[in-house]
Structure formats: structure tokens, C-alpha cells
Amino acid sequence: MKRILGLLVLMFSVPAYCEIITEDYCFATSGDKPVRFEMRTYFDDSVKWSGAFVRYEKSKELIPVVLTSVETDEIEKGHPAELTRKWLEISRGVITGEYEMTSRGASIESMSYKGYKSKKKYSFVFDANAQRTEGVGCNW
């Protein structure tokens, strides 16, 4: 009985802790008729978990993306490292493309999308003017 009581005290004295960090990004192509999408990422470093989705401007569909790699490159000592993250896009259970974002500190240096079916690659820029509203997404 003492062992069970000791285990229960130990289990409930160590609080479960997880902190999910959410990041929201708004992107657009350049030109007269820009293609726009938002990306929302979730990270929990305590359990090494991540999740994300993209949603295009004229769509209500959330497209899941899976983080496949993060490469870190320290270009200059004392400055933020350059991070290159890659996600696979999964639509209706099929891998349909990949997103690649390069950032340094808080600055997004590049974002691209490559469709596997069309083999086309699209470049996007971070859209700082599309202020994100909680519960609504990017405001274009």
C-alpha cells in the first residue's frame, strides 16, 4: 500500500508541462495577380513535436504539411544562424509538393513551393502588409 501511495504522490507532484509555440506567416507571389497563402506552424520542444498547415487565400481548405528537415548554417559568428526548413504537402492522403523556407533570426529570406505533379517551382515573399488576425488568418 505504501508503494502505491508513494507512486501516486510522485506522479502527481511532477506537473505535466508542454509549451506549444505557434508561428503564423503570410506569403504572396509578386505580380499583378499574386497567389497568396498563410502557413501556421506548431512546435513543442519538450516532446520534439511539430505540425503545420497552409491555406491559400481563396480556399477554406487547410492543407497539412509535415516538417521533414531543418538545416542550420552559421554563416557569420555572432549573427543569427540561417535556418532552412522543408515541409511536405499532403493533399487527400497523397504527397503533392514541398515548401522550403529560409530564415535568419526574425527575417524570412525566401519561401518556395514545388508541385510534384506540375514540376513547377514558385517563389513567394513574406507579406508584412497582410496583418494576421486571431481566428481569421491573413488579411489580404
Q: Please write down the HEC assignment for all residues of the chain.
A: CHHHHHHHHHHHHCCCCCCCEEEEEEEECCCCCCCEEEEEEEEECCCCEEEEEEEECCCCCCEEEEEEEEEEECCCCCCCCEEEEEEEEEECCEEEEEEEEEEECCEEEEEEEEECCCCCEEEEEECCCCCEECCCEECC
Does residue 12 carry a pLDDT above 60?
A: no
Whole-number pLDDT of residue 128: 85
pTM for the predicted model, two decimal places: 0.80
Mean pLDDT of 75-90: 91
| Domains along the sequence of the chain with CATH | 16-130 (2.40.160)
